[in-house]
Amino acid sequence: MLIPRQEVLTATLLVLIGAGSRYETDRQAGLSHFLEHMFFKGTKNRPTTKEIAEAIDNIGGEFNAFTGEEYTGFYVKVAASQLLTGMDVVADILLNPLFPAEEIERERGVIIEEIRMYTDAPMHHISHLWQQVLFGRHPLGRRIDGSIETVSKFKRNDFIKYTKQHYHTRNAVVAVAGNYDEAKVVGLLQGMFAKLPGGKETVPRRAPGVLPQHKFIKEVRDNIDQTHMIVGVPGVRLDDDRRFAANLLAIILGGGMSSRLFISIRERHGLAYAVHTGVQAYVDAGGFATQLGVRSEKSDQALILVFEEYDRVMNEAVLESELKKAKEMIKGRLLLDLEETNALAQFAGVQALLQKKIETPEQLMKNYNTVSAEEIKKLAQELLVPSKRAVAVLGPNKSIERVQKVWH
């Protein structure tokens, strides 16, 4: 997939593989993420991590990877004149990995410390609890990085088998965005990635369509001062036409410093520093939630305020001025993001991988512009009903008890 932008000075190659945490069995939890790390640990042509890193450092590039629930991505962003070198390095790590046993053992320790780091960070760990609330024992309900127990047991053969299962032409998208010579890039891509083996497209286990019975999850931590909460409901899937209204509703409720929840909880009542409402969208499921870290003595009041704003947007149509502002925020943020070639490659690549089609920024904005205040209200009435609401909370025990009283 080619996205030319001759006016910029950089170029990005992104390779997306349909391999993420939702494709793993319970025993494999964290394998997609661990495997992502291992691709950087030596190839037939560049046997050490240092040689791989130097190949990109020598051309002043940016080289990284990421793992999500539904895909893993590898990208290099470089000065336009250095793209072919960057492409060679990415192709090398994906086509010629060594997975040295000694590096697996060393990286195992790194990942275990990464798991501990995010567990110790309440703002991160609360999102893990929220996934459990929303998806229960489904793979979407697990941490992307797995657990210390599962990560401790992976063998070299696990990486080899998982790579053969997921890393193939039917399960990959290659995107190049920025300033480049199209003929050279096409020729190089055909030569490099034609070496990826064929295979069957991976089909994930279907996500649950209803909220699990446990709609309240808590984790007591008496050694922290703040109480962290995520309050939300099941949302819309990636191909749902209501996703445009859902994103606008999220902006209106908690998408900026002038949003309803930010004004109410932070500016009016002084209960939190950070308040944010967002949308999660997967191929067959979704979530809609507000995250906040609040003063523990007032955690119950904060939850009441969230519920009040949810009720209000269900019962009263949003103002036209609010809706116009939300549309402009989405448009502005999208255009600002797409000034970066790596964001442009991901914007197109993720759509191609998960939706099998690509909507341009102009097409997306056209869809947003047609959403009415009445549609926002209708969606709020469908999503935000009290019977669908769920809470994940982490903090001191006394604070959690206050939250539970409001919940019940």
Residues tagged active-site: 36
Residue 273 CA: distances (Å) to CA of 78, 81, 231, 252, 263 = 37, 44, 16, 18, 11
Nearest alpha carbon to residue 348 among 178, 163, 171, 93: 178
The contacts of residue 241 (CB under 8 Å, 6+ apart) are: none
Q: Are 379 and 249 within 8 A, CB to CB? A: yes
Sign of the CA dihedral running 269, 270, 272, 274:
positive
Q: Are 346 and 14 within 8 A, CB to CB? A: yes
Burial class (CB in 10 A: 0-12, 13-18, 19+), 203: exposed
Pairing of strands 286-295, 272-281: antiparallel
Q: Are 30 and 146 within 8 A, CB to CB? A: yes
The Cα–Cα gap between 13 and 32 comes to: 21
